[in-house]
Amino acid sequence: MMKRDRHWLLEIVFLIVLVIAGQSVDFSLELLLRRGVRFFDIASAMVPPDASYAAVVVRPLWATIQMSLIGTVAGAAMGMAGALFADSYVNACGWLRIPFKGVVNLIRTIPALILALICTFLVGLGALAGTIAITLYTFVVMTRMGYEDMENTPLATATALEVTGCGRFRAFARTVLPTMLPSYLTNVLYLLEANVRHAAILGYVGAGGIGILLNERIAWREYSQVGMILLMLYGVVILAEGSSEVLRRVLDGTYRLRRSQAVLLFVIIAALVMSSVGTLQWPDRGGSGFAAAASIADGLIHPDWSMILSTAHDGVPYLLYETFCIALLGTVGGTAIAAWFSFTASFRLLPWPLALVSRLFLMLVRTIPVFVYGLMCIRVTGPGPFAGVLTLTLCSVGLLAKRFLLAIDDIDLAPFQAYRAMGTPYIACLRYALWPQLYSRFAAAILYRMDVNLRDAAILGLVGAGGIGTPLILAMMHYSWAEAGALLWGLVVMVAGLEMISEGIRKSRRRDEYRD
Amino acid sequence: MLELKHVYQQYNKTPVLTDITLQVPKGQFVSIIGPSGAGKTTLLRLFNYMVRPTQGEVWVAGQRLDTLMGRKRRCSQRRVGMIFQDFCLVEESTCLQNVLNGSLADMPIWRVLTGSFPKTKQAQALQALDQVGLADKAYCQARSLSGGQKQRVAIARTLMQNADVVLADEPVASLDPVTARQILGLLRKLQQEKNLTIVMNSHHVEQAKEFSDRIIGLKAGKIMADHPAQDWQPKELDALYRGEQHDET
């Protein structure tokens, strides 16, 4: 009884928070209805795409794919080593392991775009900076996922081998590694898809790939050429998702490769990666990279405390609050849209042609880079945080719908049918037979997306859509490292803090499940 | 072959074993029986350093195990194989891979990581699987096997290890009675063929009597009785298990 009452209270509090957040970001339904059509201004200018422009796009697009490919492969390999180093069974030195985990999790809170921007200061403009950023990003994400998988794998078998006198590392390599490797590689494939999309943005800060071209064409308002770029990017995303789907089948064992096929696959991947490495140009900037590194480090060590403590609208606390509001409302909006599309895109619930249409639409929604959405939304609302909310709403749809869809595909329909057979009303069946199965997975997806949105909110600054991103990127571009340090620390602390809270919620929920 | 001298063992200040002294000569099949919580598993695990004694000496094949360190200790550990109630196999790997895991100690690290074992080792592993009657399952995933088959793979792994001592911790407790008898029969047969020393924990008195040479009764961390298998009297067994009934009510 007590517990139910508290739930009810929580919902009220959540609604109040939403309303306050809405006020803070100048949310206005009236504006949305009045000017909503302007959203399609840019979209309609992109149609028809300028087909003759394709020839120009091919090279930078290929460079983008190469960047994400090397970055993912190198980052995944390093991530495995990192995960081993962070594992308490393999590495018994806690004083090495725990600081390492701390650094990995700190870097994880920094958006990939900001990493890329930092890299451009260190190694100069170009694809190398982007590649390093993607590698670093993949490394920290995979290290984290890897050591979590390792910690969740039982050690009984490893211990059984260890006592045959072969040492811990050998025992670990033959027991825990084969158990966790398939899920590790599956995560790498997911990350590869995400990295292709990330790589397309990095050009915005001069870190190579298609983004440079995209940025330039948008600045010139050549929207039919922008349309062509996005169309080709859409093709690449479909290709990437298709091939990673095939590889996932191989990993989970539904599709078995013959030895010759496996060798062929390995050779193809190796050749792609090698050829990509060959195209990278190494910097010859002498000592300037080190000088930049020194000033960045100095800014991080001595952040501008007056900004951190200021309560004005350009102080760190207010900017963080605004970013949080944007991310929260964006997540809520995205959840609403994604919930609808995940049901209409499920092959289990709808006839396949209808579901396929929804799926292709979802993929299209996911292809369009964040800042293109940003520009489209700014047409509606003008620069400011409300544009950021709309942008993140649209960006959240892709990932949330995909996770929701996976959850829907996994549900067990037997209880639903049993309730129907008992003559229970349809809505009640949904509520009591299906919703309990979906609830926790939906919640996990939403929490995860909230975490991503906090970081993505920093990207919105690029197009002037509010939040901490605008001042952060401006400060970095002007080499004001003390300011940038203050803003970056603020972002890191907020993302890390919210992650700890969501982790805490997840753990307490898990305990509740056990107790029930 | 195996020897304990005045061994004491504590876990969080609760005594688990108290002043245990015993000797197991080479080639003997010893069963340790007793109520749950008597310290059987702890006693067994002393012999391969899964448990370190709080006090006392552990001797394996003429070496004092509890004070050896590093490479020397691992050398001694290699002579001791162990099988478990829950088998401890890598479910995702094939039977052959699992058996090959018995030879990790003398493999170079690159072979361990790539999983490419030399031909001679592969042949030896296949032979070990053949000895436990699973030659046809070599390339099946361990996950797909029945409990009895999994325990056979685990036994083959100790053969691969060339162990001359095998510790068996409730090896048949999660198997049905018929399979259990087959597994114990296999252990007994291999023990006699290869002159292995086997120490087995069991809570099944009849099985212990049938398959072993000697039975040690353990209760509350102390040795209650220690006789050849056929000399055990019903009265002693009653005394061994009586306290347990009492505690539970």
Question: Mean of the pLDDT values across residues A294-312?
Answer: 80
As a three-state string, the secondary structure of A140-197 is HHHHHHHHHHHHHCCCHHHHHHHHHHHCHHHHHHHHHHHHHHHHHHHHHHHHHHHHHH
User: CA–CA separation, A170 vs A166, rounded Å?
Assistant: 6
Question: Mean of the pLDDT values across residues A166-172?
Answer: 87
| CATH for A432 | 1.10.3720.10
Q: How far is CA B162 from CA A455, B79, B129, B194, in A?
A: 56, 7, 14, 10
Q: Give tens-digit pLDDT for A114-154.
A: 888 888 888 888 888 889 999 999 999 999 989 888 888 88
**Percentage of chain B exceeding pLDDT 70:** 97
Distance from CA of A154 to the nearest CA of B (A): 10
pLDDT at residue A259 greater than cutoff 70: yes
Q: How far is CA B39 from CA A149, A289, B31, B201, B229, in A?
A: 33, 63, 14, 10, 20
Tally of structural domains, chain A? 2
Q: Does residue A287 sit at the B interface (CB-CB below 8 Å)?
A: no
Residue B83, H or E segment: strand B80-83
Task: With respect to residue A7, please indicate whether it lies within any of the assigned structural domains.
Answer: no
Q: With contacts defined as CB-CB under 8 Å, which chain A residues touch B92?
A: 178-179, 182
Task: With respect to residue A373, please indicate whether it lies within any of the assigned structural domains.
Answer: yes
Listed by number, the residues of chain A in 130-159 with a beta carbon closer than 8 Å to a beta carbon of chain B are 156-157, 159
Residue with tokens 């550990």: B77
Task: With respect to residue A292, please indicate whether it lies within any of the assigned structural domains.
Answer: no
Task: With respect to residue A220, please indicate whether it lies within any of the assigned structural domains.
Answer: yes
Closest CB to B81: pick one of A164, A166, A169: A164
Interface-testing mutation among A80, A84, A162, A174, with chain B (most B C-beta atoms within 10 A): A174
Task: With respect to residue A295, please indicate whether it lies within any of the assigned structural domains.
Answer: no
Give the chain A residue nearest B109 (alpha carbons). A170
Residues A146 and A184 sit within 8 Å (Cβ to Cβ): yes
Question: Mean of the pLDDT values across residues B65-94?
Answer: 87
pTM for this structure?
A: 0.81
In degrees rounded to 5, what are phi and psi of residue B222? -130, 150
**Sorting pLDDT into bands at 50, 70 and 90, what band is A80?**
very high
List residues bridging with B228 in a β-sheet.
B214
Q: Give tens-digit pLDDT for A483-503.
A: 888 888 888 888 888 888 877
Looking at A223, A254, A284, which one is the last position of a domain? A284
Give the chain A residue nearest B169 (alpha carbons). A160
Closest CB to A173: pick one of B92, B112, B161: B112
Q: Count CB pairs under 8 A between chains A and B.
A: 70
A227 and A308 in a single domain? The answer is no
List residues bridging with B33 in a β-sheet.
B202, B217
pLDDT at residue A173 greater than cutoff 70: yes
Looking at A284, A314, A345, which one is the last position of a domain? A284
Residues A60 and A122 sit within 8 Å (Cβ to Cβ): no
Residue with tokens 């859409």: A234
CA-wise closest residue to A492 among A97, A184, A105, A33? A105
A126 and A218 in a single domain? The answer is yes
Task: With respect to residue A208, please indicate whether it lies within any of the assigned structural domains.
Answer: yes
Q: With contacts defined as CB-CB under 8 Å, which chain A residues touch B93?
A: 174, 178
Give the chain B residue nearest A253 (alpha carbons). B92
What's the domain range around A478? Answer: 304-516
Q: Does residue A166 sit at the B interface (CB-CB below 8 Å)?
A: yes
For the stretch B106-112, contacts whose Cβ atoms lie closer than 8 Å and that sit 24 or more positions apart, written own/partner, are: B107/A166, B107/A170, B109/A169, B109/A170, B112/A170, B112/A173, B112/A174
Cβ separation of B82 and A160 shorter than 8 Å? yes
A225 and A344 in a single domain? The answer is no
Cβ separation of B74 and A167 shorter than 8 Å? yes
Which of A29-43, A330-344, B48-62 has the least mean pLDDT?
Answer: A29-43
A313 and A449 in a single domain? The answer is yes
A506 and A389 in a single domain? The answer is yes
A261 and A122 in a single domain? The answer is yes
Q: Does residue A173 sit at the B interface (CB-CB below 8 Å)?
A: yes
Q: With contacts defined as CB-CB under 8 Å, which chain A residues touch B113?
A: 173
pLDDT at residue B185 greater than cutoff 90: yes
**Sorting pLDDT into bands at 50, 70 and 90, what band is A511?**
low
Cβ separation of B49 and A163 shorter than 8 Å? yes
User: CA–CA separation, A38 vs B244, rounded Å?
Assistant: 81
Instruction: For residue B160, give both structure tokens.
Output: 């691969």
User: CA–CA separation, B211 vs B31, rounded Å?
Assistant: 9
A392 and A427 in a single domain? The answer is yes
Q: Does residue A300 sit at the B interface (CB-CB below 8 Å)?
A: no
A108 and A224 in a single domain? The answer is yes
Looking at A249, A284, A319, which one is the last position of a domain? A284
**Sorting pLDDT into bands at 50, 70 and 90, what band is A424?**
confident
Residue A82 CB-density burial (10 A; 0-12 exposed, 13-18 middle, 19+ buried): buried
Evaluate whether ipTM surpasses 0.90: no
Cβ separation of A165 and B76 shorter than 8 Å? yes
Q: What is the pLDDT of residue A514?
A: 45
Task: With respect to residue A294, please indicate whether it lies within any of the assigned structural domains.
Answer: no
pLDDT at residue B61 greater than cutoff 60: yes
A335 and A228 in a single domain? The answer is no
User: CA–CA separation, A508 vs A6, rounded Å?
Assistant: 15
Give the chain A residue nearest B46 (alpha carbons). A163
Q: What is the DSSP-derived secondary structure letter of residue B141?
A: B
A347 and A376 in a single domain? The answer is yes
A367 and A259 in a single domain? The answer is no
A263 and A320 in a single domain? The answer is no
Q: What is the pLDDT of residue B247?
A: 44
Distance from CA of A166 to the nearest CA of B (A): 4
Task: With respect to residue A22, please indicate whether it lies within any of the assigned structural domains.
Answer: no
Identity (one letter) of the amino acid at A272? L
**Sorting pLDDT into bands at 50, 70 and 90, what band is A512?**
low
Q: Give tens-digit pLDDT for B135-165.
A: 898 898 888 999 999 999 999 999 998 888 9
Three-state secondary structure call for residue B94: strand
Q: How far is CA A80 from CA A51, A138, A149, A181, A217, in A?
A: 42, 11, 11, 9, 39
Rounded to the nearest integer, the mean pLDDT of chain B is: 88
